Structure 1
Amino acid sequence: MTYTVNCSILLTELPLLERPAAVKAAGFDAVEFWWPFASSVPADPEVTAFENAIIDAGVQLTGLNFNAGDMPGGDRGLVSWPARSSEFKDNIDVVAGIGGRLGCTAFNALYGNRIEGEDPDRQDALAVENLAAAAEGVAGVGGTVLLEPVSGAPGYPLLLAGDALAVIRRVEAEAGVVNVKLLADFYHLSVNGDDVPAVIEKHARDFGHIQIADAPGRGAPGTGTLPLREWVARSRELGYGGYVSLEYKEPRETAFAWLTGR
């Protein structure tokens, strides 16, 4: 099984730039991150330090989020946020640059919450424009933009796989880009009440990425009730060939205990 470790949610006891080396020491060769900077266009030394931490650890960067705003404060993306649209577009070149230098080709663009006082239709139209711009921006490094349903954010409008797929189809129809794909986070889909086995049967071949955590609790596999191994195996059988991201909450000392014997 080809796993990648999300260093923004795991190993948080360590400083961010020490986590790639800890992932390598734990026996993995791949990492992914949410946006690791405070701004959409960080200073060059910040970017260089981030890239060097990954290179020096000897791991592959397999996924990187576009700037999603203040995640601890409740933000869930800039894609459909009118007041921050230019900031999102400025972020595209930075993301593509990191991807090109590190060989990363998967880039998660969180859709964004509904904004009070904004017309939802206007937000959705803006999202199509920004997703198309992002897709075109990362195409030069062979990149794919990922779009995911999210749980636990009351203002986030993409809850089910069908919600995200409808946006993806709209982007393709209106902008002609084909490198926007579904990020199938089995935890979020399950918590939101989606029929995960049906989603797998219909769309596994076209998944852009898979992330896993157990439910309830968003802990490591085996801490909840989700048949994650079965879902991943079936996705593989149906044609999914990418990484499976470990994106769950677990203390460092037991973070990978469930994988003993992998």
Structure 2
Amino acid sequence: MILHNGLRLDANLKWLFTDLPFEQRFDAAAAAGFTAVEYASPYPYPAATLVRRLADAGLTQLLINSPTGEPGSTERLGSACLPGRAAEFRAGVELGLEYAVALGSSFLHLPAGIRPINVSRDRAFAQYVANIAWAADQARGSGVRLLLEAQNKQDAPGFFLDDQAHAAAVADSIDQAHVGLLFDVYHASIDEKDVVATLREFLPRTAHVQIADSPGRAEPGTGDIPWADVFDTLKSEGYDGWIGCEYRPAITTEAGLEWIKEQIR
């Protein structure tokens, strides 16, 4: 891991080391000091190939997403809230759990999806809760915890989970042992009034944290988020989970890693 002042950081291989082909990013992450990785979609590769890449690099898999649709499709950010798509959602969860178990991933994130304008919020909510409850049943005994993430309205207009309270209410109503929050500091900083107060409020329900600065979604220290307060809150509240580096490096990944010493004190 990259461990700094008690906080554990992992590399998101969708966002970091993108000057390299995906399969070479594992070794690059290890060389940079990471011992754990996450990425949204393992599905273009056989699970056995990724298991080998993890083992060869000495890395642990932390998180993957369940499958989503192609860019531009109705399901591009997930199908969990879409009425009439339960079979598609369930097939995705089954595949996601299969990969998560094979890779030893602690978490499977279930993207909520974009609510169609002709579907009421109540109808989408009923479908979403039913789907997440079904997924929680499937996850029992797997060793994989399901994660729910709110995304901001600027980057993801119409995304069904649009604030932390909404995500927490769903997780609390279903199964806290198998369903938790993915708190993305970047998304929360855009839509919540006070990102630090929001983090403190929802940290007890949070199983995983992701970070990027805003505006720009580059590494911490390139935007306006009060990172000293964010990291102090994580430490003072006893957060012992991982922090996923899900940002777009301003220059290169390696050069950008200097933020760790500058921002975590």
TM-score (normalised: structure 1)? 0.87
Residues 99 and 209 (structure 1), Cα distance of their counterparts in 2 relative to 1, 3 Å cut: same
Residues 223 and 238 (structure 1), Cα distance of their counterparts in 2 relative to 1, 3 Å cut: same
- Secondary structure at the aligned position of 1:182 is classed as strand
Question: Aligned pair count?
Answer: 252
Q: CA deviation at 1:229?
A: 3.8
Q: CA deviation at 1:21?
A: 1.3
Residue of structure 2 equivalent to 1:110: 111
- Looking at structure 2, the residues matched to 76 and 194 of structure 1 have their Cα atoms a distance apart, in angstroms, of 24
Residue of structure 2 equivalent to 1:259: 260
> Residue 193 of structure 1 aligns to which amino acid in structure 2?
E
Range 108-117 or range 81-90, more displaced: 81-90
Select which of 160, 168, 171 maps to 1:168. 171
Residue of structure 1 equivalent to 2:19: 13
Residue of structure 1 equivalent to 2:195: 196
Range 149-158 or range 192-201, more displaced: 192-201
- Looking at structure 1, the residues matched to 71 and 37 of structure 2 have their Cα atoms a distance apart, in angstroms, of 20
String of CA shifts for 1:110-149, please: whole Å, max 9, x gaps.
1110124334322211111211222222232222111111
Residue of structure 2 equivalent to 1:155: 158
- Looking at structure 2, the residues matched to 192 and 4 of structure 1 have their Cα atoms a distance apart, in angstroms, of 25
Once the two structures are superposed, the pairs formed by residues 176-255 of structure 1 within 5 Å of their partners are 178-250=177-249, 251-255=252-256
Residues 229 and 65 (structure 1), Cα distance of their counterparts in 2 relative to 1, 3 Å cut: farther
Q: CA deviation at 1:191?
A: 1.0
Range 220-229 or range 95-104, more displaced: 95-104
Q: CA deviation at 1:61?
A: 0.3
- Secondary structure at the aligned position of 2:234 is classed as helix
- Looking at structure 1, the residues matched to 122 and 216 of structure 2 have their Cα atoms a distance apart, in angstroms, of 33
**Residues 221 and 258 of structure 1 are in contact (CA less than 8 Å); yes or no, is this contact kept in structure 2?**
yes
**Residues 217 and 247 of structure 2 are in contact (CA less than 8 Å); yes or no, is this contact kept in structure 1?**
yes
Residues 20 and 194 (structure 1), Cα distance of their counterparts in 2 relative to 1, 3 Å cut: farther
- Looking at structure 2, the residues matched to 194 and 145 of structure 1 have their Cα atoms a distance apart, in angstroms, of 27
> Residue 58 of structure 1 aligns to which amino acid in structure 2?
G
- Secondary structure at the aligned position of 1:210 is classed as strand
Residue of structure 2 equivalent to 1:100: 101
Q: CA RMSD in A?
A: 2.2
- Looking at structure 2, the residues matched to 82 and 52 of structure 1 have their Cα atoms a distance apart, in angstroms, of 38
Residues 80 and 157 (structure 1), Cα distance of their counterparts in 2 relative to 1, 3 Å cut: closer
Unaligned 5+ runs, structure 2: 1-6
- Secondary structure at the aligned position of 1:224 is classed as coil
Residue of structure 2 equivalent to 1:41: none
**Residues 183 and 209 of structure 2 are in contact (CA less than 8 Å); yes or no, is this contact kept in structure 1?**
yes
- Looking at structure 1, the residues matched to 27 and 103 of structure 2 have their Cα atoms a distance apart, in angstroms, of 16
Once the two structures are superposed, the pairs formed by residues 46-61 of structure 1 within 5 Å of their partners are 46-61=46-61
Range 110-119 or range 185-194, more displaced: 110-119
- Looking at structure 1, the residues matched to 191 and 72 of structure 2 have their Cα atoms a distance apart, in angstroms, of 20
**Residues 80 and 123 of structure 1 are in contact (CA less than 8 Å); yes or no, is this contact kept in structure 2?**
yes
> Residue 81 of structure 2 aligns to which amino acid in structure 1?
S
